[in-house]
Chain A
Amino acid sequence: QAVVTQEPSLTVSPGGTVTLTCGSSTGVVTSGHYPYWFQQKPGQAPRTLIYDTNNKHSWTPARFSGSLLGGKAALTLSGAQPEDEAEYYCLLSYSDAHSGVFGGGTKLTVL
């Protein structure tokens, strides 16, 4: 089974910009992996931020954006807010759009 890798932890200053990445052990991540990004705060269920690489839900703050960058999926946060401190998970699909492998998560600290 493929392994999906994320940075274990990142720190960003309030108002700053940070990019989280999501890589695959099988090689280059493409739109065909239908990359998702989820945000999870302590004691809460995850919430979807980005789907299919760069699509946002109506509740996704404009400061979050998804892309493909350097062979990986990427989540960029521009203008970090204290409430963005959370665990972020990516999900990649390998055989079709109906199953997937999660990354290990990135703990984002806003400090």
Chain B
Amino acid sequence: EVQLVESGGGLIQPGGSLSLSCASSGFTFSSYEMNWVRQAPGKGLEWVSYISIGGSTKYYADSVKGRFSISRDNAKNSLYLQMNSLRAEDTAVYYCVRGRFDPWGQGTLVTVSS
């Protein structure tokens, strides 16, 4: 069974940093592109970032460019999102999503508040 399990969410003060992880299983992680997508409480979906199979190509939404960094470790079957200079508007559930947007993990909640 294909599984994506996010971790690392929590409460963080504005201006702080947080690192999210996504552990994968049930498929050959090194063969798939990966994405992060987020959803603010009671709001819609927002694509955040993409990384290529080898990790050399990365894209970011304008709202996070320069603050967030996506990476992966194919040996550990894991995807990461380093989030710096966090703002209240970054509060959301962050989903790890495989390849062409399927499947999705269950998400991890990041709350940015003082």
Closest A residue to B6 by CB, please name it. Answer: A45
Asked if B68 is at the interface of the complex by the 8 Å CB criterion, the answer is: no
Alpha-carbon distance between A55 and B37 when the two chains are bound, in angstroms: 21
In the complex, are the beta carbons of B100 and A51 less than 8 A apart? yes
Q: Please give, as numbers and ranges, the residues of chain A lying within 8 Å of B50 by CB-CB distance.
A: 98-99
Which applies to chain B's interface (DSSP): helix, strand, loop or mixed? Answer: loop
Task: Quote the shortest CB–CB distance from A66 to chain B (angstroms).
Answer: 14
Asked if A103 is at the interface of the complex by the 8 Å CB criterion, the answer is: yes
Which applies to chain A's interface (DSSP): helix, strand, loop or mixed? Answer: loop
In the complex, are the beta carbons of A45 and B104 less than 8 A apart? yes
Asked if B102 is at the interface of the complex by the 8 Å CB criterion, the answer is: yes
B68-114 CB contacts (< 8 Å) to partner A = 95, 100-107
Q: Which of these, B61, B101, B103, contacts A36 with CB under 8 Å?
A: B101
| Most B-side CB within 10 Å, residue of A1, A91, A97, A100 | A100
Alpha-carbon distance between A47 and B37 when the two chains are bound, in angstroms: 13
User: Can you list 15 A-B pairs, Cβ within 8 angstroms, ordered by A?
Assistant: A1-B62, A45-B107, A46-B45, A46-B95, A47-B104, A48-B104, A57-B102, A89-B44, A91-B47, A98-B57, A99-B50, A99-B61, A102-B44, A102-B46, A103-B44
Q: B interface vs A, CB < 8 Å? A: 33, 37, 44-47, 50, 52, 57, 59, 61-62, 95, 100-107
